[in-house]
Chains A and B, each alone.
Chain A
């Protein structure tokens, strides 16, 4: 029995080693590591447009999709070549502290507030999102927060601050997970939540929730692509990063962003001027 076991382990081990050796011999094209947010990845935008860039430039883009906070942290540590996020305040800090260079606003989408179809907090018809949030708190409705330092989470906390509400009322639920999981939980608990429109459209068919508030300047969600300071991390693929950033602002890519639709809806508006 034991002999059989150790024999099996050896066989599996050899098989694994063999497979890694094979994959190592595959010729490596130049890789660009792009740290970005789950919203661009979940919506399918990058999968739709990056292959064009790869075919034209010969680079291979590896997308690392996480929250804005983590994406900027990876960029700060020089773990990625280029970063694309949507949290203006955190991005300004990132550039001002000398880590990021050449920030370019390439596109925007918007946030919407989702909730149960019968809208128990009666937020639809509020004059702005701050008032809508206040209604959630006074009504003690369940509100699911991502709680993961993502761009969406930072936006949500900024709105609470604006509304001078401390988000610790009885219905406030902080879950530390990505946008998709948050939507599923909001659906399960029939709760309110703040989401980017892209992820909502992508998940729409799975959800029994409605947009209970949308619109207004406070809910605009601009995306920036930033290069990483070559003086701090000379060994990164700066050439590839610059090529990607340049491609994003080209008329062709801007057009592709506008043309990208999920279930017939345009998700992102190209904004580079």
Chain B
């Protein structure tokens, strides 16, 4: 490295602080795509987690294990799957979603749904099923009863949401494959870092890396304080 570290860091900070339009367009693509994917999958996934935790039905064991497996598949494999679905001759080719934000959202939904389902299932399993049934017998509708249980479990559920969101915000494999890293359109933080590093332009890569780093620190501190609050007090 003949470019001094200090100079690089300086450039990186000035890119962020001067609101460099390219850098901020990349950041906004990252967040808007990942938020969309999270919002769309959130309610169905939590519902499914609740079902898997609360009811015995044929195939439940199988679904649970599939979800657990999907959680640990590398994102490039999910990217490959989404690519094959969306390619011009693929089953969803007529949508023309390959190399668009819609395609990226679809890919990220496939990545974050299993995380949400598995973690919310674990959360719902931790609570006595009678909580739900009691509120039902008290005359609450099923939606309302689930809502009550969710409020009870807000900390573990919020942790599930944060875990899912940070997984899709930071994955590079699927975004690169399905989004195609198009400037101002599907270039997000991880794919931009990959590109700038391959070009040998480290300042922008460091600036974007800093954004993820700061986010990770904030999220982890938030999780830490939530966990602390959720700890049962010793009697």
Give A residues with C-beta under 8 Å from B. 66-67, 69-70, 73-74, 76-77, 147-149, 173-177, 181, 185, 188-189
Contact = CB atoms under 8 A, between A and B. Distances in A.
A173 B182 contact: yes
Interface in B168-211: 176, 180-183, 185, 187, 191-192, 195, 198-200
A66 B182 CA distance: 19
Contacts of A67: 198-199
5 tightest A-B contacts by CB?
A73-B200, A176-B195, A174-B183, A70-B200, A149-B199
A184 to B, nearest CB: 9
B123 interface: no
Nearest to B192: A176
Contacts of B192: 176
A175 B182 CA distance: 4
A157 B162 CA distance: 42
B181 A176 contact: yes
Contacts of A177: 176, 180-181, 195
A170 to B, nearest CB: 12
B6 interface: no
18 contacts: A66-B198, A69-B200, A70-B198, A70-B199, A74-B200, A76-B2, A77-B1, A149-B199, A149-B200, A174-B182, A175-B183, A176-B191, A177-B176, A177-B181, A185-B99, A188-B87, A188-B88, A189-B99
Contacts of B195: 148, 176-177
Taking residues whose C-beta sits less than 8 angstroms from the other chain, chain B's interface range is: 10 to 19
The B interface is mostly helix, strand or loop, or mixed, namely: loop
A189 B35 CA distance: 27
A9 to B, nearest CB: 15
Given A188-B87, A188-B88, A188-B99, A148 B199 contact: yes
B98 interface: yes
A135 B198 CA distance: 32
The A interface is mostly helix, strand or loop, or mixed, namely: mixed
B99 A147 contact: no
Nearest to B194: A176
Nearest to A69: B199
A147 B200 CA distance: 13
Nearest to A74: B200
A147 B1 CA distance: 24
A4 B230 CA distance: 27
Residue with the greatest number of chain B CB neighbours at <10 A, chosen from A66, A147, A148, A188: A188
Contacts of B180: 175, 177, 181, 185
Given A67-B199, A70-B199, A176-B191, 12 more contacts: A67-B198, A69-B200, A149-B200, A173-B182, A174-B182, A175-B180, A175-B181, A176-B181, A176-B187, A176-B195, A177-B176, A185-B180
Nearest to B202: A73
Contacts of A174: 182-183
Contact of A176 (B88, B98, B99, B183): B183
A69 B201 CA distance: 10
Contacts of A74: 200
Contacts of A176: 181, 183, 187, 191-192, 195, 199
A77 B192 CA distance: 22
B128 to A, nearest CB: 23
Contacts of A77: 1-2
B191 to A, nearest CB: 8
A127 to B, nearest CB: 31
Contacts of B87: 188
A110 to B, nearest CB: 24
Contacts of B98: 188
A57 to B, nearest CB: 29
A188 B178 CA distance: 12
A236 B99 CA distance: 42
Nearest to B186: A175
Contacts of A181: 180
A176 B200 CA distance: 12
Contacts of A147: 183
A13 B31 CA distance: 36
A161 B182 CA distance: 21
A147 B199 CA distance: 10
A229 to B, nearest CB: 13
Nearest to A78: B2
